[in-house]
Chains A and B, each alone.
Chain A
Amino acid sequence: MSDLDQFRQTVSAWLEENCPPSQRTPITREEQVWAGKNKAFPSSDAKLWFERMRDKGWTVPEWPLELGGGGLDERQAKILKDEMKRLGCRTPLFDLGIWMLGPAVLEFGNDQQKQQHIPAIARGDVRWCQGYSEPGAGSDLASLQTRAEDKGDHFLVNGTKIWTTNADKADWIFCLVRTDPNAKKQEGISFLLIDMDDPGVSTTPIELISGESEFCQTFFDNVKVPKTNLVGELNKGWSVAKALLKHERKLMAEIGGDTPGPSFSPVQAALEYVGVDDNGKLKDVGLRDQLVRHEMAFRAIGLTHFRSFEERMNGVADNNVPLIMKYVGTEESKRKEEVLMAVLGHRALGWNDSEFNDDELLTNRGWLFSKALSIAGGTSEVQLNIIAKRVLGLPD
């Protein structure tokens, strides 16, 4: 048996033994455990499962052992992920610090910053949010205006950030701020960590079409930020941001995952809501065609994720492939939601109405939520620009 097979067996046995049965069913949004000073657990099993995973360092499997991570390499981490998926184990901890900030601090942070932030993220002690976009800086992110003035021993921050997910619940925010207003766009930007408890920081939720308001606008009014909170070099924040954006896009490319939605797959829903004829074919040929087109595309995307992984592992990586995954993943997710809506017919249209069951109500919420996928983290159009220029080498 190879080392990896051995590892798979050990992981699988550990998960079987340590993951409570209640933590092996599909997770709802209310059941997600988010990091933070005031962590709330929906059940004692969820707490137990989180603590066991935390103690293994498997909330952040690929981070260094000495900083609270699991110390796994990419192959081992994939095995852990695969086994968790196979056994239906829930993600024990949710946080932007895990997915986005942590990798950036590990790459660009100094020792003091790593010691301060990485173990805290691994333990789920701090909830992070992201401050990139501004009302006047969306796709054109580099035109951001939030100022951080050098005041000797600290920066003085003034401005506003928008689409700061869960900023009202977060403990810290990582921000892009303008430190040199005279430099060209990208060149005067720095990457700054700000404690949300600092005087002058405030948030307002934004209500979305899905009825939720997980996004906020965050305001900075003469906020004093210690200089030790600068990650990377002064005025070199853009390169930190770009590296971090890669993590965000990779995350968004992974369709499904833990995104809340109905418990049925599109195929299951179609069998129930459309029904089949004597030949076992869905009764609505048009819907059947829409569904199969989605299913086939979804499979092609899954195979491409896998090919990209295999190529990296075999040292023949095509670095262009990851660039397409944000676009295809989010566009296909949107298509999936459209298919689900069509499949449920008017049963998908209920809004806060007890006539409809939870899955039916979640279907239109998921559909509305999905519209943000191809906007956040770089719009589909920006992604196509990147492919055209960077991959295909088409001229400006």
Chain B
Amino acid sequence: MTLVLNEEQRLLKDTAKDFLNRIMPVSALRQLRDQKDSLGYKREHWQQMTDLGWASMVLPEAYDGLDFGYLGLGAVIEESGRTLAASPLFSTVVLCSTILIDGGDEEQKSALLPRIAAGELSLALALEEKPHHQPNAFTTTATTGDGGYVINGKKLFVLDGHSADQLIVATSLASGVGLFIIDANTPGIVRRRHHLIDSRNAASIEFNQVKVSQSALISSPEQGQDILNKALDYGRICLAAEMLGSATECFERTVAYLKERDQFGVKIGSFQALQHRAAKMYIELELSKSVVLDALSAIDDKRADLPQLASLAKARLNDVFELVSNEAVQMHGGIGVTDELDIGFFLKRSRVASQILGNSSFHRDRYASLCGY
């Protein structure tokens, strides 16, 4: 268990911060939104991120990865949360690569992982079917036929689903959970991009009699749920890291405003009603930092309490980011509800991020069950 970044990881974080501030500040997301960009992120940005090694950071060396670990990747993702940077990093690398590394056969891994590491391939995980996160009991089905499988069903809230080259689909099979890797342009797949409040990327995807070969199945249906659960926990933890970055940035901007805004002839930061609320947010963020670091190191150390840590981190960051973004708007006063100020982007992102891979009540329920009550 390590709760301190080593020098290499700190350097990586600083580099990420510098790059993101220069190339992908919040104004970059605003621009994508205002220009109604069809991709929802900039290819050249993704290429630059890949050049910095972010796509390959947690991939095994055997597949052109850097095998640098999640404390490092988490530090980068946290920084990306500060500028609300849009990219396929989370869905491609954290969610889908984890499933491939864990469950993929040699052929699948050598065909896909090196291309992911090079930034040539983006993937999306087609998981949700209901208004709330549900990682099991899928209504999307796969049945055997024609020497392969036929997939039917509809997936919602698929992150980066509209732009991904390949999809991993979670389905119910007779003998368990079938995870299939499919080309996104396979006949029978209908993708519709969602436009969400956070201006980031998601889609709904229909599967109408989609025929896939035997080799599209990842691992076996008996293993499917476990492989999926692990990837989802990695996802929850990395998303918590992103939310920590976003919430911290949102908080720092708010504290700066408290020191700058005059009312009644004084800085509004001199009012105790605001000071105590700011202090409480600071406390929540410090606790969050510890939880996120421990959760990331639980991935690197392959610890048995990883699922607990994932739920601890996700529930906490859902709540803290919600608190901080609400307070940020309130403490900015009138300007806080204008589109001109960036704070609104943080507020909107917080609610979307909360719904990804489980809201707080989902994770508190899960944490309690994992702890035996």
Which residues in A have some Cβ–Cβ distance to B below 8 Å? Answer: 267, 270-271, 276, 279-282, 288-289, 291-293, 295-297, 299-301, 303-304, 306-307, 310-311, 314, 316, 320-321, 324, 327-328, 381, 384-385, 387-389, 391-396
Contacts and interface: CB of A to CB of B under 8 A. Distances in A.
A281 B369 contact: yes
Closest 6 CB pairs of A and B: A388-B275, A387-B279, A307-B3, A303-B290, A394-B269, A304-B290
Nearest to B291: A300
B132 interface: no
Interface string B237-276: 0000000000000000001001100000011011010111
Contact of A384 (B2, B255, B275, B372): B275
B280 interface: yes
Interface of chain A: mostly helix, strand, loop or mixed: helix
Nearest to A315: B4
Contacts of A300: 287-288, 290-291, 312, 316
A296 B315 contact: yes
B289 A307 contact: yes
A271 B373 contact: yes
Interface in B289-347: 289-291, 293-294, 312, 315-316
B300 to A, nearest CB: 15
Contact of A289 (B278, B280, B364): B364
B278 A394 contact: yes
B287 to A, nearest CB: 4
Interface of B: 1-4, 255, 258-259, 266-267, 269-270, 272, 274-276, 278-280, 282-283, 286-291, 293-294, 312, 315-316, 361, 364-365, 367-369, 371-373
Contacts of A296: 312, 315-316, 364, 367
A381 B2 CA distance: 33
Contacts of A396: 270
Given A304-B287, A327-B283, A310 B369 contact: no
A296 B308 CA distance: 10
B259 A393 contact: yes
25 contacts: A276-B373, A279-B369, A281-B365, A281-B373, A288-B368, A288-B373, A289-B364, A292-B373, A295-B367, A296-B315, A297-B287, A299-B291, A300-B287, A300-B290, A300-B312, A303-B290, A303-B293, A320-B286, A324-B286, A385-B279, A388-B276, A391-B282, A393-B259, A394-B269, A394-B278
A392 B255 contact: yes
Contacts of A295: 367-368, 371
A141 B342 CA distance: 43
Nearest to A394: B269
Nearest to A393: B259
Given A327-B283, A381-B276, A292 B289 contact: no
A385 B364 contact: no
A321 B286 contact: yes
B294 A303 contact: yes
B137 to A, nearest CB: 15
A316 B4 CA distance: 8
A314 to B, nearest CB: 5
Given A281-B368, A289-B364, A307-B289, 16 more contacts: A267-B373, A280-B369, A281-B373, A299-B312, A300-B316, A301-B287, A307-B4, A307-B293, A310-B3, A384-B275, A384-B279, A392-B255, A393-B259, A394-B259, A394-B269, A395-B270
Contacts of A391: 279, 282
Contact of B372 (A280, A303, A393): A280
A313 to B, nearest CB: 8
Nearest to A288: B368
Nearest to B251: A392
A316 to B, nearest CB: 6
B368 A395 contact: no
Given A271-B373, A276-B373, A282-B373, A292 B278 contact: no
A153 to B, nearest CB: 47
Contacts of A281: 365, 368-369, 373
Given A387-B282, A394-B258, A291 B373 contact: yes
Residue with the greatest number of chain A CB neighbours at <10 A, chosen from B255, B259, B269, B368: B368
A271 B270 CA distance: 47
B364 A395 contact: no
Given A300-B312, A394-B275, A387 B283 contact: yes
A271 B371 CA distance: 12
Contacts of A393: 255, 259
Nearest to A274: B373
A384 B280 CA distance: 7
Contacts of A304: 286-287, 289-290
Contacts of B373: 267, 270-271, 276, 280-282, 288, 291-292
A385 B293 CA distance: 28
A289 B267 CA distance: 40
Contacts of A381: 276
A320 B279 CA distance: 12
Nearest to B315: A296
Contact of B367 (A292, A310, A389, A392): A292
B90 to A, nearest CB: 24
Nearest to A317: B4
A388 B279 contact: yes
Contacts of A293: 364
Contacts of B286: 304, 320-321, 324
B290 A307 contact: yes
Contacts of B255: 392-394
A280 B272 CA distance: 45
Nearest to A309: B3
